[in-house]
Structure 1
Amino acid sequence: MTLPPSPWWEPGRHADRRPRLMLRNRIAGRLRAHLDARGFVEVEAACLQVSPGNEAHLCAFATEAVAADGTRAPLYLHTSPEFACKKLLAAGETRLFSLARVFRNRERGPLHHPEFTMLEWYRAGEPYDALMRDCADILRIAAEAAGVARLVHRGRGCDPFAAFERLTLAEAVTRHANIDLLATVAPDGATDRDGLAASVRRAGLRVAPDDTWADLFSRVLVARIEPHLGLGRPTILCDYPVSEAALARPSAADPRVAERFELYACGVELANAFGELTDPGEQRRRFEAAMAEKQRVYGEAYPIDEDFLDALAVMPDASGCALGFDRLVMLACGAPHIEDVIWTPLTGGAR
């Protein structure tokens, strides 16, 4: 019989975990120094927000504020410091970063923890290609801090010093699933669910009657694309369909896609980056559509942060990236589970 692991606070187990936790601190310190040397200001975004974010499949922890007279107002723990950071861009900051604790409900597993740490940074007036260079620096710094030549996750390796593979999403879907993804996306961003469903069936994947275009896209990405990314060298997967880039601006080269990329290493998604959308009317439309989908799927929706939309109207052109810091540490030390690199993981619940 396999005995359950002892609690993380048991002295013997803590002694085993401590080298990885100390590496976590070392990587955080070196990243802070790197960003500071390049003119980034560290900011602290409040965890309590009137809206936790407005993406359909991000689920939040809800709470409430109680005034002295007993009046109650709903609040949420943020799923990202994004709204707060963009308000600071509107306020006049030009380079900023946040190493923030963030909270996501309905997520726990080897790569997910309900409370985790996100490194998020923004560059005002700079293209999102600059974020790709930042990502290369971050992987290199993490590897150097760990004293390793390769990042590793569950037997898969990646050279953090190698030149990145840059692959559009359409290229990746054609290569690994033999599907012409953009044939199902119109110039105005509208998607052809039935057209994609037919291609997904031909690729040998399941299609349910109630699957949306987004459901099918996600199934292809997870089953056929992600396992091939970041093997041997890091991969930048870019040019997502507009419908899959809720806060990103459309590409000037092709209106069907947006300025969004994700960074992969060892088959693990590490970062998500945008050339930021700054049109408050279009952003409201996207938020409302996402919350209608959330209501349909989960039976709940989150309020829209009107203050954020007001700030967006004066925010400069910018690019921003969010990186899962715990996952970065996992790959730097070869840890198989995210809780191996969190100082005080949540006690209880399924791993």
Structure 2
Amino acid sequence: MTGPIIPASTPPDPDRIAERLPLLRRRALVARAVRAFFDARDYLEVETPYAVPTPGEEVHLRVFRTEREHHDGTRRALFLHTSPEFAMKRILAATGQPIFQLARVWRNAEGSHLHAAEFTMLEWYRPGATLAGLMDETESLLRAVLPPVLQRPPGLAEARPLRIDVPFERLTMAEAFARHAGIDLLPTEGDAASLAAAAGCALRDGEDWEDLFFRLLMERVEPAIGRDRPCFLTHWPASQAALARRDPADPRTALRFELYAAGIELANAFEELTDPVEQRRRFAADRARRASLYGAGPDMAWPMDE
């Protein structure tokens, strides 16, 4: 009987773990600082189930399916959650208490230097928080847990340090597309041909407005923001914020932001939609779109979270 063959180029497992010890220590310090930050603001730390009947309604996230076997032999499909959002909102609605969680989450079919199939997500909720208030709190959190200036590793093409100790940039999506892509974005929403004409590019086979929007965001906007200091990208097109309120000042946009730093999306937040009829309509639309794109097999079949 022989054991598994390990390529000569692969260090023994104990050595690989030992090499990561400095990162593990730093991670522990960050987690301790995060908890201290929220404790000082009277947040309650919670822990919610990982295997749930409804893992989320994001159109493009794939999930891991499992099955619970009851003592009487009956079985129930469960899914590893893609975020703790739904369960945490139940706690928030029942208690009115600011809450946070360092949750393990899963996203199937992910794999790159910036995307993992399993990772730890920090999620927090504060009743009554506005978009501006959430951005202020996010800035304060990063200043509490990170050095004032982050130096980039040697050898990278981008050598500029990232400043955490200065006010973060705040750009609306419309401003970002106008500045970095030369596009008046909002009048094109839903019209792929119009967006392609404004961008001076050709539509790819099967590409709709949303596909092209994200292609331009990744190719032209994201590389240009958050290089010297983090940048909040705010007021997304309304179609790209299923759980967010529309902006009363411009209903074409939703009260959502993403935070970018050094080419990485660090955070995503929004003012919560609280209209149950509108929320159900959006969920139904997302479920229909997901089914049209990826089918409706058992890995995609779960009840709507009512």
Pairwise same-fold verdict (TM > 0.5): yes
The correspondence of residues 44-55 of structure 1 with structure 2, limited to 5 A, is 44-55=47-58
Q: 1:215 aligns with which of 211, 217, 226?
A: 211
The percentage of counterpart residues that share the same residue type is 47
Deviation at 1:158, TM superposition (A): 1.4
Q: Does 1:109 align with 2:105?
A: no
Q: Which residue of 1 aligns with 2:19?
A: 16
Q: 8 Å contact 2:193–2:203 — kept in the other structure?
A: no
Q: Which residue of 2 aligns with 1:6?
A: 11
Larger Rg: 2
Q: Does 1:58 align with 2:54?
A: no
Q: List per-residue Cα deviations over 1:54-108 (Å, max 9, x = no partner).
A: 0110111011122223222211000000001111111023210010000001111
Deviation at 1:12, TM superposition (A): 2.5
What's the secondary structure of 1:15's corresponding residue? Answer: helix
Q: 1:241 aligns with which of 234, 237, 240?
A: 237
Q: 1:162 aligns with which of 160, 166, 170?
A: 166
User: Larger deviation: 167-176 or 124-133?
Assistant: 124-133
Partner Cα separation in structure 2 for residue 175 and residue 3 of structure 1 = 50
Q: Which residue of 2 aligns with 1:305?
A: 304
Partner Cα separation in structure 1 for residue 121 and residue 151 of structure 2 = 19
What's the secondary structure of 2:245's corresponding residue? Answer: coil
Change in Cα spacing, 1:57 to 1:4, as seen in structure 2 (3 Å) is: farther
Deviation at 1:142, TM superposition (A): 2.6
Q: Which residue of 2 aligns with 1:176?
A: 180
User: Larger deviation: 128-137 or 97-106?
Assistant: 128-137
Deviation at 1:224, TM superposition (A): 0.7
Q: Which residue of 2 aligns with 1:336?
A: none
What's the secondary structure of 1:124's corresponding residue? Answer: coil
Partner Cα separation in structure 2 for residue 112 and residue 172 of structure 1 = 24
What's the secondary structure of 1:29's corresponding residue? Answer: helix
- The residue type equivalent to 1:297 in the other structure is L
Q: 8 Å contact 1:78–1:102 — kept in the other structure?
A: yes
Q: List per-residue Cα deviations over 1:94-152 (Å, max 9, x = no partner).
A: 210010000001111101111100000011022121111121122212324xxx62153
Q: Does 1:141 align with 2:144?
A: yes
Deviation at 1:184, TM superposition (A): 1.4
Deviation at 1:5, TM superposition (A): 4.0
Deviation at 1:284, TM superposition (A): 1.3
Q: Which residue of 2 aligns with 1:150?
A: 150
TM-score (normalizing by structure 1): 0.79
Q: Does 1:126 align with 2:129?
A: yes
Change in Cα spacing, 1:141 to 1:216, as seen in structure 2 (3 Å) is: same
What's the secondary structure of 1:278's corresponding residue? Answer: coil
Q: Which residue of 2 aligns with 1:197?
A: 196
Q: 8 Å contact 1:232–1:266 — kept in the other structure?
A: yes
Query: What is the aligned length?
Result: 293
Q: List per-residue Cα deviations over 1:151-191 (Å, max 9, x = no partner).
A: 53755441111111100001111111111111113xxxxx2
Q: 8 Å contact 1:104–1:115 — kept in the other structure?
A: yes
Q: 8 Å contact 1:234–1:263 — kept in the other structure?
A: yes
- The residue type equivalent to 2:175 in the other structure is E
- The residue type equivalent to 1:176 in the other structure is H
Q: Which runs of 5+ in 2 are unaligned?
A: 1-6
Q: 8 Å contact 1:54–1:302 — kept in the other structure?
A: no
Partner Cα separation in structure 2 for residue 197 and residue 237 of structure 1 = 22
Partner Cα separation in structure 1 for residue 214 and residue 72 of structure 2 = 47
Q: Which residue of 1 aligns with 2:4?
A: none
Partner Cα separation in structure 1 for residue 120 and residue 237 of structure 2 = 27
Partner Cα separation in structure 2 for residue 265 and residue 81 of structure 1 = 24
Q: Which residue of 2 aligns with 1:266?
A: 262
Q: List per-residue Cα deviations over 1:236-276 (Å, max 9, x = no partner).
A: 00000110011111011110000100011101100000101
What's the secondary structure of 2:126's corresponding residue? Answer: strand
TM-score (normalizing by structure 2): 0.90
